[in-house]
Structure 1
Amino acid sequence: MTNKQIGFTILDGGMGRLLERLGAPFRLPEWSALSLIEAPSFVTRAHTAYVESGAEIITTNSYGLVPHMIGEQRFADEGRLLADRAGRLAREVADNAPHNVLVAGSLPPLFESYRPDNFIAEDAPRILSSLVAGLAPHVDVWLIETQSSTLEALTALAVVKDSGLPIFVSYTLKDEHGRTGPPELRSGETVAEAVAVTLDAGANAVLFNCSQPEVMSEAILAARRVIDASSNTSAGLGVYANAFMPEPPSDEPYAGISEIRADLDPDNYLKWVGRWVEQGATIVGGCCGIGPEHISAISASRDSPSKMPDWGSNSPIKMQ
């Protein structure tokens, strides 16, 4: 154990699989949005579970609030209202938490996860405007997440840039078995290129999510080099991996609900977290299949540093 300062922010875990475990309505194509529509009390229960596990940032359940998941007509009629509901539910839980909790407004892939080729730049503002309008009164930070390309991410960033709130951008990475070379977004852009342009565009933090934990370390190292060489050396760097089996290469369509790995129990996931923090991550949490038990293990290890050596540097957010 070294004398490094213990300082990182704990993000929550995945929402969809937790809702399924809780017995909430859950199916494709609506995914986690179905609970928001039909049984919002389950969303409150999920947020509460993460807060009780030690999460310091909880993410609005707005990932599924896009036309290709809830339908064009429902989005047109109810998109802003549902986004408002997602923000309000998270805000209520955060405001009643026993410790300081921030609310991150999730701005998801607008057309399909893992499919940068499906992005329609001219249609994106229409979708983003409803999500941002509904979420804005309730959130403390924007989380533009599971982005497969810089075009996708920076389009969303431009919409919220003047909101006055911190902006986190999180990319998903190529993670199929056997791939070699530098870490890449699913678009084929390198992590180094993506981090540089994202910081230049005004992001306060760059994260990596919804990919296998095995590909995260190289991404962190590449990102840390760019951040340390930039004019924004205090930018946050985060990871929240998923527990899915590897998805198909990014030029193939997302096939459905993925199988969860058996080897990413809390103890094993914690080993990955320890590595990421040592490599310079300042925000850690989990994505699909990573639940409150994993977040609890991360929180306990931070509170008892002897359980994990060499925690990283300061959190990019000052908890009030």
Structure 2
Amino acid sequence: MTHSTIILDGGLGRELARRNAPFKQPEWSALAMIEAPEIVQAVHEDFIRSGAQVITTNSYALVPFHIGDERFQTQGRELIARAGKVAKAATIGTQVKVAGSIPPLFGSYRPDLYIASQASQIAMPLIENLQAYADIWLLETQSLLAETQTVLDLLPQDNKPRWVSFSLDEHSSSQGAQLRSYELVEDAVRAMVKRGDVDAILFNCCQVEVILAALKITHQVLTEYKVAQRIRIGGYANAFVECQDSESATANEGISQMRQDLNTERYLDFAKQWHLAGASIIGGCCGIGPEYIAVLADAFAKR
């Protein structure tokens, strides 16, 4: 059996910024969720019109790292539920699925900031308030295996697909593909397989050039365990000029510059390589807008 290709949406945050929605650091995409949810819904709808078959809730920045502890405690649950409602509303009249985004709990690219004793206090409001709207659970931009394992253990037994997407160190290669924690991709994939409850393994929010090596390793491990037909693989890269490494990253201090060399056709060329390596879930992350998704959908959606 060969999986049909699922087309994801692209990056919400930079698309919101492009449309002049409320957008700044440290709130990032959460600010639009607070002040202009109608623009968030419009972005969801544009991704759907472009061919996305799965859209992602705008809950990525609804964590203390971005909105602060006080706002998270007083408004977090309401805002997370709003993110779910807005995404679900955008899918009315379509067959598009909603992925409930569970972001890094302590900041993107910062495995060093992980505090195990506080993880559930942040994760549970996300899970509980997205559950009514999510068709798929999507753990995104995962940089530390321990955090991923913790959040997976907290998810409800609701039979919804569980997708885990890791973020890669920018110097990954086929000889040493690794997460931002410097844990090996091979070890992370083996850990996900051994759980028995993960339905897809993806790679996101990293340079488009590093995803192929990780996909090849993932496919090899899944083949070894004879689960390649059960567990999908995929990728959705960002368009940042440079992603900061886990030792110095300050993901809520500035707004990263975007690459000028990654147009839709070049991104498609990379996506075709991912597809040949076994990827059956393909989309985009930060800076990858509806025009990119339209090109991906035209190339892959009917395959």
Alignment TM-score, normalising by the size of structure 1:
0.90
CA offset digits 1:26-48 (Å, max 9, x no partner): 00000000000011001001100
Shift of 1:152: 1.3
Among 181, 184, 188, the alignment partner of 1:194 is 188
Q: Select 1:289's aligned residue among 268, 287, 290.
A: 287
**Cα distance 1:199–1:52, how it changes in 2: closer, same or farther (>3 A)?**
same
Instruction: Give the partner amino acid of 2:214.
Output: A
Residue matched to 1:24 = 21
Q: In the TM superposition, what whole-angstrom CA distance separates every residue of 1:252-306 from its partner, at most 9, and x where no partner exists? A: 12252111101111111000010100010010000001110000001111258xx
1:236 — aligned with what?
232
**Cα RMSD (Å):** 1.7
Counterpart of 1:130 (choices 125, 133, 136) is 125
Q: 1:23 to 1:222 in 2, by over 3 A?
A: same
- Matched residue SS, 1:143: strand
Number of aligned residue pairs:
299
Name the CA shift for 1:222/1:94 in 2 (closer, same or farther; >3 Å): same
Give the aligned residue type for 1:293: E
| Conserved 8 A contact 1:44-1:89 | yes
Cα distance change of structure 1 residues 91 and 180 upon mapping to structure 2, 3 Å threshold: closer
Residue pairs, 1:5-44, within 5 angstroms: 7-44=4-41
C-alpha separation between the residues in 1 aligned to 2:198 and 2:86?
A: 26
For 1:250 and 1:162, how far apart are their aligned partners in 2? 32
Contact 2:174 2:214 in 1 (8 A): no
Pick from 161, 169, 173: which aligns with 1:166? Answer: 161
Q: In the alignment, does 2:298 pair up with 1:300?
A: yes
Could you list the runs of 5+ residues in structure 2 that have no partner in the other structure?
none
Relative to the length of structure 2, the TM-score reads: 0.95
Report the Cα distance in structure 2 between the residues aligned to 1:49 and 1:273, rounded to whole angstroms: 21
Distance 1:87 1:303, change over 3 A: closer
Distance 1:281 1:179, change over 3 A: closer
Partner-residue secondary structure (3-state), 2:235: strand
Taking the aligned partners of 2:137 and 2:194, their CA distance within structure 1 comes to 17
Q: Is the 8 A contact 1:161 1:167 kept in 2?
A: no
Residue aligned with 1:240, SS = strand
Q: Does 1:64 align with 2:58?
A: no
Residue by residue over 1:118-173, the C-alpha shift from the partner in whole angstroms, topping out at 9 and shown as x without a partner, is 00111010111111111000010000000101111111111115232111000000
Counterparts of 1:88-107 in structure 2, within 5 Å, are 88-97=85-94, 100-107=95-102
Aligned to 1:307: none
2:157 alignment partner, SS class = helix
The residue number in structure 2 matching 1:140 is 135
Residue 239 of structure 1: how far off its partner (Å)? 0.1
Paired amino acid for 1:124: A
255, 262, 265: which one pairs with 2:263?
Answer: 265
State the shift of 1:21 in Å.
1.0
Contact 2:241 2:257 in 1 (8 A): yes
Q: 1:37 is aligned with what amino acid? A: I
Residue 203 of structure 2 aligns with an amino acid whose one-letter code is: F
Amino acid at match of 2:170: D
CA distance in 2, matches of 1:262, 1:79: 35
Out of 209, 227, 235, the residue aligned to residue 204 of structure 2 is 209
Deviation at 1:181, TM superposition (A): 3.8
State how far apart, in whole Å, the 2-side matches of 1:126 and 1:249 are: 26
Structure 2 distance, partners of 1:238, 1:62, is 21
2:187 alignment partner AA: E
Paired residues of 2:174 and 2:217 also in contact (CA < 8 A): no
What secondary structure is seen at the aligned counterpart in 2 of 1:162? coil
Counterpart of 1:51 in structure 2 is 48
SS in 2 for 1:75: helix
Select which of 66, 71, 75 maps to 1:78.
Answer: 75
Letter of the structure 1 residue corresponding to residue 192 of structure 2:
T
Give the percent of matched residue pairs that are identical in Structure 1 and Structure 2. 42
Determine if contact 1:6/1:302 at 8 Å carries over to the other structure. Answer: no
Out of 4-13 and 131-140, give the one that drifted further.
4-13
